[in-house]
Amino acid sequence: MRNPFRPSVDDAVNIEDLRRLARQRVPDPVFDYIDGGADGEVTLRDNRRSWDEVLFRPRNAVRIPACDTTTELFGARLSMPMLLAPVGYSRLFHPVGEIGVARAAKTAGIGYVLSTFAGYRVDEVAAAAGPLWYQLYLAGGRAIVETSLARAWNAGCRVLAITIDTNAPGHRERDIRNHSAQLIGEGLLNKARFVPHLLRHPRWLSGFIGDRKQVMFYPNVVIPGDGPLRARDVRGNLSRAMLEWSDLSWIRRCWPGPIVMKGVITRDDARRSMDEGAAGVVVSNHGGRQLDTCFPTARALPEVVAAIGSQGVVLVDGGIRRGGDIAKAIAMGATAVLVGRAYAYGLAGAGLQGVSRAIEILRADLVRTLGLLGCASVKELSGKYVELPKNW
């Protein structure tokens, strides 16, 4: 019999409940890595708040016997207009890591975008996944990137999402205070300071000890003569791997499928993406984890949609915690959304079951929102169902 005083993933009715569960289940440095943002975390908060500022305009006295949430994106049929966003270090949250995320996404009939810094090989994840995209950082140099892209394509990834908003690593103050780099670094002595945190989370600790050697490496970035990229080297590697627009012609030669540019929040970058041959963009500020006090994504979305027009698809992430946020994004012109923290909380709190619960919550929210809007299908959502703040 379930203890009513011990929260369970099945008790979660919204994403905030999963967030609280994650806080209980993993050590503070791990939770803060998932939960935190850059500098003063202004953009982190604004991402969430900006969706709340968009107001619905429902059509009432409309009978909706069933709501259609299906959509198509780059030839893949999705059960709802949502993909699970790339989240690095997922294996640190729970040993099932990206394989568990992929299984949950496949069962739910949605897509998954695998991070370059995944803890499992892309072919292992692809074996568990439905529609799978690959997210790219230029880690390791051109020769290594070309090998990584070939490996991802051969494994079954069919869309490439290139992250362009990491000109420098973000200044994440929670991670610095928590000495998080030492937790994922090598050497047991480096972890002595974490003993109080770890002992309070025996379930997580047991998984971490059993999985520790794999958590420290990223097998999709293989350095010749040195093996998989070490977690301790990621930050320095990113600092040396800044992407420039001129790299796009080279990447297009290496990747046979569609490319989307992730990290676009201005019309200029949106148009440049199209000019460089991209098939679409993701309106994203990296979840508020890079440049603080930049535009929240909901506010940037209309500008990017207008700039892209019919040239490509527009996706959006950042601050999406409810199905109503998904409906607003689609009504504002996005084709689909990416969610990151929402499922990362579930993964940290309850592994695969937690990811599945996060998807279930967002799906139920979306269906309920469509019914209350008097809108039978996500394909019918348009600007007539929302009103944007006048100061946007």
Active-site residues: which are they? 286
φ/ψ of 114, rounded to 5, equals: -85, 130
Report the distance separating Cα 73 and Cα 84, nearest Å.
14
Report the distance separating Cα 340 and Cα 318, nearest Å.
8
Q: Of the candidates 319, 263, 321, which has an alpha carbon nearest to the alpha carbon of residue 290?
A: 263
Q: Is 251:261 a contact under the CB 8 Å cutoff?
A: no
Token pair for 88: 């690095």
Q: Is 344:320 a contact under the CB 8 Å cutoff?
A: no
The owner of tokens 């600007």 is: 383
Instruction: List beta partners, residue 386.
Output: 56
* Cβ neighbours, 10 Å, residue 379: 14
Token pair for 26: 């993993």
DSSP 153: H
Instruction: List beta partners, residue 112.
Output: 84, 132
> Quick check: helix, strand or coil at residue 117?
coil
Token pair for 39: 């500098």
Q: Is 64:375 a contact under the CB 8 Å cutoff?
A: yes
How are beta strands 217-223 and 227-230 bridged, if at all?
A: antiparallel
